[in-house]
Chain A
Amino acid sequence: MIPAKFDYKPASSAEEAILLLQEYGDEAKVIAGGHSLLPLMKLRLANPEVIIDIGEIQDLSFIEERDDHIAVGALTRHRLVEHSDLLRENVPLLAHAASHVGDPQVRNRGTIGGSLCHGDPASDLPAVVLATRATLIIRSQTGEREVAADDFFTDFWETAVNPAELLMEIRFPKVGDQPWAFQKFSRRAQDWAIVGCAVQHGSNPGIGMINMGSIPVRSSVAEEALRSGNAVIDVASVADEGLSPPSDIHAEVDYRRHLARVLLGRALS
């Protein structure tokens, strides 16, 4: 399977990529690691006329400590996130979840920014961004803006990043020693989650769910139950409340609801 024809424009800086995006408009797509975009292009489910390659923009790949948060550049590959001591210490949930993305080859290519901009409710890192209440930095030609995790995922495979914008970095609040947990249920090694959850404890606990809606979602009802000091069994029992999980060849709606409750129970135990 070979993608349809396209023009290839490598960008050496974020500024250059944004100018190219403006020039080519809707016909263009940026490629980072290509591990979501290329499979779609090979199946001809995506047929961009222009590919803007941001993969070589080195200064968008970083993990930096800044005051109360750790900033992760959009082009940072899953492998670096997984092995980062700074993240293991300050945002361990993110480093751990990154180690569960696909397989080693996928983690050597895929980037955190690509994973988030793809906006797939079945992927792992959006749940972490929701659970940790991270902030996303988006740049356009007119400047940068900050978007809260809750406002980032807007529709099925749609995010707050507009066609002529780039995701630049993600800021994760440091969590110190606060407990966290990550549960991913899949049938075979290397598979995507059928359902999963990411939990970050703290003064404002966060519970991000994997594959429990048409967009990445948090379980607000369970979060509220957790904040109110309910027992684990009671928090877990409302994991799926208010959510509309999909039904597909891997699982039906009721099974996903059941899994959400079981996995949240495990995550909190």
Chain B
Amino acid sequence: MTFPISVNVNGQTMEQEIDPRTLLVHFIRDDCRLTGTHVGCDTSNCGACTVLLDGEAVKSCTVLAVQASGHDITTVEGLAPPDGPFTPIQEGFRQEHGLQCGYCTPGMLMAGTALLNEIENPTEEQIRSHLEGNLCRCTGYEMIVRSVQWAAEHPDGIPVEIGEGS
């Protein structure tokens, strides 16, 4: 038995009949064809699947797509327009090398976006505690923290001259 859902994904309404057991992350990746959202652990521990649900960070491997019906979802593809400038957090990850393999990055960007929406100028401790639900196996987190700090310091996202401030 299927169930009709209507989800606003990155500003676009997706209407569909769906098997109720479909996880939000599979709806996003397989039905919306937005593969920026990753599945890391599939057990709600790693945060790679983090998206914004009505502006709040959630792990989309632990939400049913039917639970998102009537709500707004933002994925990593919804951050910057296709040919537009990066958002501050994306630019921050570029400036401060906040990624290596990049697997955790979409989740980090979404959790970081939620953090900066809530706290404009977070302390290092606040950054670390807000990213507690996101695991990275590469960077050792230092560069990720610096990337978020960069974004907080550059709310307009304009990059500094290469070499400056790093």
Contact = CB atoms under 8 A, between A and B. Distances in A.
Interface stretch (A4-12, A20-28, A124-132, A140-148): A4-12
A109 B63 contact: yes
A42 interface: yes
A103 B131 CA distance: 8
Contacts of A42: 42-43
Given A34-B64, A53-B67, A109-B58, A104 B130 contact: yes
Contact of B56 (A3, A6, A39, A108): A108
* Secondary structure call for the B interface: mixed
Interface of A: 1-8, 10, 31, 34-35, 38-39, 42, 51, 53, 55-56, 79, 102-106, 108-109, 189-190
B62 A39 contact: yes
A38 to B, nearest CB: 5
Contact of A34 (B3, B67, B133, B134): B67
Interface residues of B, number: 34
Interface in B13-28: 19-23, 26
Given A2-B21, A4-B21, A38-B64, A104 B43 contact: no
A8 B57 contact: no
B132 A190 contact: yes
Which 3 A-B residue pairings sit nearest by Cβ, starting from the closest? A103-B133, A8-B20, A108-B56
B38 to A, nearest CB: 14
A120 to B, nearest CB: 15
A7 B47 contact: no
A24 to B, nearest CB: 14
A104 B44 contact: no
B111 interface: yes
Interface string B49-92: 01001001111001110110010000000000000000000000
A105 B58 contact: yes
A105 B108 CA distance: 12
Contacts of A7: 1, 20
A5 B21 contact: yes
B57 A35 contact: no
A108 B58 contact: yes
Contact of B57 (A6, A38, A108): A108
A35 B59 CA distance: 10
Given A34-B63, A38-B63, 13 more contacts: A2-B21, A2-B22, A4-B21, A8-B1, A8-B66, A35-B62, A39-B43, A56-B70, A104-B114, A104-B133, A108-B53, A109-B58, A190-B132
